[in-house]
Amino acid sequence: MIFRKTIETDLEEIMRVHREVFREDDEAELTAALLKDLSAAPVLSLIAVEDDISAGHILFTRIILTGSGKAVSGYILAPLAVVPEQQDRGIGGRLIRKGLELLEDDGVELVFVLGHPGYYSKHGFIPAGRHGLDVPMS
């Protein structure tokens, strides 16, 4: 399994992965829109590929938090998708770890997750409210 940053020509494969996982176009269309959203740039988009077939995708989009007197940048992890036939093989966790490593290498210290708390807590995430933070949604 290869984990790599996506390139522009991966868009159809990314959308296919999200359609397979979420069984509708909404998530795939949202992912495509986030990839093209200049206000979220720079994004970190990673894909898991095995034998030239995409098995999973993860997207981190940049956010700027204000309100404490200074702006703080961070990222939101969402969405994460692994095709059903490849699930339960640790691919999602490996995508998360690879993404967090790359973000840490770039000096990013804050990552929010929009997703299932039971799953993401296994990967070190804790509810933002425990730190008095509200998840930025605008």
Does residue 137 form part of some domain? Answer: no
User: Which residues are CB-contacts of 15 (< 8 A; sequence separation ≥ 6)?
Assistant: 28, 29, 31, 32
Does residue 103 form part of some domain? Answer: yes
User: Which residues are CB-contacts of 27 (< 8 A; sequence separation ≥ 6)?
Assistant: 18, 19, 21, 79, 81
The structural domain count of the chain equals 1
**pLDDT (tens digit per residue) in 105-114:** 999 989 999 8
Here the CATH number for the domain that contains residue 93 is: 3.40.630.30
Structural domain range at position 79: 2-131
Q: What is the pTM of this model?
A: 0.89
Instruction: Determine which of 54-58, 69-73, 82-86 has the lowest per-residue pLDDT on average.
Output: 69-73
Does residue 136 form part of some domain? Answer: no
**pLDDT (tens digit per residue) in 85-106:** 999 999 999 999 999 999 999 9
